[in-house]
Structure 1
Amino acid sequence: MKNFRINNRFTAELPADPDLTNEVRQVKNTLFSYVNPTKPSNPKLIHVSEEVAELVGISKDEIKSEEFLNVFSGKEILPETQPYAMCYAGHQFGNWAGQLGDGRAINLTEVENNNKFYTLQLKGAGKTPYSRTADGLAVLRSSIREYLCAEAMHYLGVPTTRSLSLALSGDQVLRDVLYNGNPAYEKGAIVCRVAPSFIRFGSYEMLTARNELKNLKQFVEFTIKHYFPEITGDPKEQYLKFFQKVADATREMILHWQRVGFVHGVMNTDNMSIHGITIDYGPYGWLENYDPDWTPNTTDSQNRRYRFGNQPQVAQWNLFQLANALYPLINEAAPLEKILDTFITDFENDYKTMFLSKLGIFTSSEADDKIIKGLEEILQLSETDMTIFFRNLSKIKKDHSVEQAFEKIEFAFYIPEEIRGNILDAWQKWLTVYLKRLNAEELSDNERSEKMNQINPKYVLRNYMAQLAIDAADKDNYSLVTELFELLKRPYDEQPESEKWFAKRPDWARTKVGCSMLSCSS
């Protein structure tokens, strides 16, 4: 990578683990451990994002080189770099889990390009001191899901890590996909993901929990210096401004999740980025039918802590844990509590504006709360596809009758024969109010439709779509990975040649593993 400008600020300025053995252990008084990726036996490149390559300073010619394949599969190490795994802790499903760390992720290096910094990280590159009982490897199915989803989220306008490359390792990996005692060998794979950094809420939690307050202070100041240089003031003021910025960025990220119907599935504090970007794609999913109680994570199927409708509250809870971690530097609860208290209030205000924009309503009215609440309730009376419903809502015109308006949205119903009696009455009443509200808007039908179609995507990475790509890839056919990658680069465009993907979840996907049931190994 001849144009790489390597600048490893994280390893140069923060305390390293003096023990260079790659043995699973408790690692104290440090932020990271040096560790090399496990060399794959026969790596093969499946796909590369040329846009992300350009972002970090890799040319199109370099993508085709053997060096690219070897570096981003973990077979070779870039000159002047020392790969490392980060040490952090976290709360998992609301419970303190202690030390976690990069159990199957290895940071290759940090590069500078066009005055921006990017950390390049391999996921599935082998064991680290933080792998606990696992091997640190990843399988093809989870790697395809992460690779496609991160890029899909970017093009949807959702803050996220990026995907640079997807490669096979050439090795077999043993996994129990549903944790039910039925392990099987699967193809191993490695994804290179890219972010400003992979610093998590849990990075600070670990230091405070271990009373490593000197390291905590150094780490927070390092974070502000390099990632929030606009923050000024005395130290305590800077720490509070830092927390406020993390809270604001987190709120914006969750707002986008709710806008497009994305469910993260495992919002542990070690999976929350200080940059307010979506990280660690595991058992994620998009809402098919609009169901605020849905979670894609089988591990969470009983309590549904990470269900779609609870994501804002979980984000606030996670920020509370970050506030606790920062408290020893501030020694004052009130200003932290103020930021936490306003999080949900600010979110609710933003959510209202966002939801109305999905409806094509860009002015305010006293009836708006009733319209939103009414729709959220009616969408759950019968299975209604969220993506299709909101996309087709833009086809309704001001001069439509209630019957004409209903025709525009009825494709979104999974069981059309259910839409009769009380359910049909409820829809007709809501559409009556909605049409009246649209006629109070100044925008023309075409102007409103155009704006709505830039807010409501036509194409999202539904789980069944990802599973079809995985099933084909298991047979060495990667064409569907490429097809979906290209489709999801323009999620708001009509793309008539790809209309087959503007479809409700097929019946076979209701119960198929990988479509409706996903575990943390997914």
Structure 2
Amino acid sequence: MKNLKINNRFTVELPADPNETNEIRQVSNALFSYVNPTKPADPKLIHASESVAELVGISKDEIQSESFLNIFSGREILPGTRPYAMCYAGHQFGNWAGQLGDGRAINLTEVEHNNQFFTLQLKGAGKTPYSRTADGLAVLRSSIREYLCAEAMYYLGVPTTRSLSLMLSGDEVLRDILYNGNPAYEKGAIVCRVAPSFIRFGSFEMITSRNELKNLKQFVEYTIKQYFPEIHGEPTEQYLQFFQKVADTTRDMILHWQRVGFVHGVMNTDNMSIHGITIDYGPYGWLENYDPNWTPNTTDSQNRRYRFGNQPQVAQWNLYQLANALYPLLNEAKPLEDILESFINTFDSDYKEMFLSKLGIFTSTETDSGLITDLEENLQLSETDMTIFFRNLNRIKKEDTAEYALEKIKDAFYIPEEIANNVLDNWITWFSLYLKRLETEELSDEERVAKMNAINPKYVLRNYMAQLSIDAADQGDFSLVSELYSLLQKPYDEQPEMEKWFAKRPDWARSKVGCSMLSCSS
């Protein structure tokens, strides 16, 4: 890794845990603990992203080197670095959980390349002081899902961490996949994740909850200096600008989630990045049939707190917790409350604009809200595939009849025979209004389709697709991981040779573990 430019800003400038033993414990007055990865038994590289390697300063040739294998499996430590696990807290499913921290993630180092800074982090590299009752390891199935999903999100244009590498550890890891008392051994794996930093809302919650106000001030000012250099002014002004920036980028991220039908599944405050990027890919999923109440997380199956339709509200709630953590620096609630109130108001306005763009409508009118509401209701009258429906709207022309327009999107219906009687009438009524609305748009059909195709993906990482690659990988066949990786690099392109992946969820995946039911177990 001869071109990696090491820069250990986080560990040099912030307070470290003086206890360097790797024992499970409460850590106070520190933002991180030094800890080395557990050496894997027999690591093997499954896949690596050449574009991410280039991003951080690693050459294509170096990816195939023994040094790359050793460093990004945790077998060797990069010269001039000291790996560490971060200390943070969080609210989990709306309840204060206290200290959490990097229980199965170890930050290798920060690097600088082309005037950008990146943190390289191994997930599944072994126990840390924050592992609680766990072993800090990860299994192949969850690692494949994380590796593929982060890159899929990036190419969809969704703010996200990136994936550098996916490796087998050579170790067997015991996991209870459904938390039902039936643990089994699975193949261990390690993913190297890349982000500007892995600072979370919960990082600040931890400090404030312990009344470590000196550390809070130092940490907020460090974060602003290193990651938000555009922020200036008096300290209190900077703190407010920081919170506003986090709110704005978080809103943008959630808007993208709703645009592509992504459900994070576990939006705890410790899983929210201050950079407004998607982190911690656990029990996530893409909507198959359009259902605002759907969550892929079995742990959330009763209350559905993190369901698709509730993600904007949860983001605001999480920002409220961050505001509480920052409050001691301001001692004034109203400026923070104003930002929180504007979050949803601005989101609603942006959501309307985003949704209309998915329909190929790029000028908003007062009546458009009804068009959106009616469509959201229609999509739930019978199971309707979200990705296929919006993508196939590009087939419709202004001169089409409502009946012909409906015919063009019929592949999106899971049970076509249900599109009858009142359901059929509702669809015909909606398409009649939609076609009239398209006539008021100045764009030609060709121009409109080009813009729609850049907004509505044709290919997303459906859970059944990820599961197929996992099943093959369990048998030692990683070709499907590579195929899906290639597919997901061009999600908006037609890719005729990949047309088989532009399909509704197969019936066998409707209730299969890993396809419709997922847990946090990894």
TM range (shorter): over 0.9
For 1:346, give the aligned amino acid. T
For 1:414, give the aligned amino acid. Y
For 1:344, give the aligned amino acid. I
Give the whole-Å Cα distance in 1 for the aligned partners of 2:285 and 2:331.
40
Over residues 74-120 of structure 1, what are the superposed CA-to-partner deviations in whole Å (9 max), with x where a residue is unaligned?
Answer: 00000000000000000000000000000000000000000000000
Is the counterpart of residue 13 in structure 1 residue 13 in structure 2? yes
Name the counterpart of 1:89: 89
Pairwise mapping of residues 101-140 of structure 1 onto structure 2 (< 5 A)? 101-140=101-140
Give the whole-Å Cα distance in 1 for the aligned partners of 2:290 and 2:472.
29
User: Shift in Å at residue 366 of structure 1?
Assistant: 2.5
Name the counterpart of 2:505: 505
Is the counterpart of residue 331 in structure 1 residue 331 in structure 2? yes
Name the counterpart of 1:155: 155
Name the counterpart of 1:493: 493
The 3-state SS of whatever aligns with 1:394 is helix
How many residues are matched?
522
Name the counterpart of 2:32: 32
User: Shift in Å at residue 293 of structure 1?
Assistant: 0.1
Give the whole-Å Cα distance in 2 for the aligned partners of 1:8 and 1:434.
55
Give the whole-Å Cα distance in 1 for the aligned partners of 2:402 and 2:335.
50
For 1:175, give the aligned amino acid. R
Is the counterpart of residue 452 in structure 1 residue 458 in structure 2? no
Give the whole-Å Cα distance in 1 for the aligned partners of 2:387 and 2:118.
32
Give the whole-Å Cα distance in 1 for the aligned partners of 2:365 and 2:511.
42
Name the counterpart of 1:266: 266
So what's the TM-score if we normalise by structure 2? 1.00
Pairwise mapping of residues 188-203 of structure 1 onto structure 2 (< 5 A)? 188-203=188-203
Give the whole-Å Cα distance in 2 for the aligned partners of 1:367 and 1:427.
18
Name the counterpart of 2:222: 222
Give the whole-Å Cα distance in 2 for the aligned partners of 1:435 and 1:394.
12
Aligned-pair identity in percent equals 82
Pairwise mapping of residues 238-277 of structure 1 onto structure 2 (< 5 A)? 238-277=238-277
Pairwise mapping of residues 465-476 of structure 1 onto structure 2 (< 5 A)? 465-476=465-476
For 1:374, give the aligned amino acid. D
The 3-state SS of whatever aligns with 1:47 is strand
Give the whole-Å Cα distance in 2 for the aligned partners of 1:265 and 1:218.
32
Is the counterpart of residue 166 in structure 1 residue 161 in structure 2? no
Give the whole-Å Cα distance in 2 for the aligned partners of 1:364 and 1:493.
27
For 2:328, give the aligned amino acid. P
Name the counterpart of 1:361: 361
Pairwise mapping of residues 389-408 of structure 1 onto structure 2 (< 5 A)? 389-408=389-408
The 3-state SS of whatever aligns with 2:458 is coil
Give the whole-Å Cα distance in 1 for the aligned partners of 2:484 and 2:286.
15
Name the counterpart of 2:484: 484
For 2:454, give the aligned amino acid. Q
Give the whole-Å Cα distance in 2 for the aligned partners of 1:366 and 1:157.
29
Q: Moved runs in structure 1, 4+ residues, more than 3 A?
A: none
Give the whole-Å Cα distance in 1 for the aligned partners of 2:328 and 2:401.
62
Name the counterpart of 1:179: 179
Root mean square deviation, CA, Å: 0.4
Name the counterpart of 2:411: 411
For 1:493, give the aligned amino acid. D
User: Shift in Å at residue 404 of structure 1?
Assistant: 1.1
Pairwise mapping of residues 2-81 of structure 1 onto structure 2 (< 5 A)? 2-81=2-81
Give the whole-Å Cα distance in 1 for the aligned partners of 2:353 and 2:364.
9
Give the whole-Å Cα distance in 2 for the aligned partners of 1:366 and 1:244.
28
* Structure 1: stretches of 5+ with no match in the other structure: none
So what's the TM-score if we normalise by structure 1? 1.00
Over residues 155-194 of structure 1, what are the superposed CA-to-partner deviations in whole Å (9 max), with x where a residue is unaligned?
Answer: 0000000000000000000000000000000000000000
For 1:489, give the aligned amino acid. Q
For 2:92, give the aligned amino acid. Q
Is the counterpart of residue 430 in structure 1 residue 417 in structure 2? no
User: Shift in Å at residue 367 of structure 1?
Assistant: 1.8
Give the whole-Å Cα distance in 2 for the aligned partners of 1:358 and 1:334.
36
Give the whole-Å Cα distance in 1 for the aligned partners of 2:128 and 2:454.
43
Give the whole-Å Cα distance in 1 for the aligned partners of 2:234 and 2:128.
38
Name the counterpart of 2:210: 210
The 3-state SS of whatever aligns with 2:448 is helix
Q: Which moved more, 1:399-408 or 1:118-127?
A: 399-408
Give the whole-Å Cα distance in 1 for the aligned partners of 2:11 and 2:320.
28
Is the counterpart of residue 351 in structure 1 residue 368 in structure 2? no
Name the counterpart of 2:305: 305
User: Shift in Å at residue 364 of structure 1?
Assistant: 1.7
* Structure 2: stretches of 5+ with no match in the other structure: none
Give the whole-Å Cα distance in 2 for the aligned partners of 1:160 and 1:58.
20
Over residues 475-511 of structure 1, what are the superposed CA-to-partner deviations in whole Å (9 max), with x where a residue is unaligned?
Answer: 0000000000000000000000000000000000001
For 1:203, give the aligned amino acid. S
Give the whole-Å Cα distance in 1 for the aligned partners of 2:441 and 2:395.
15
User: Shift in Å at residue 14 of structure 1?
Assistant: 0.1
For 2:334, give the aligned amino acid. A
Give the whole-Å Cα distance in 1 for the aligned partners of 2:343 and 2:332.
18
The 3-state SS of whatever aligns with 2:409 is helix
Name the counterpart of 1:382: 382
The 3-state SS of whatever aligns with 2:120 is strand
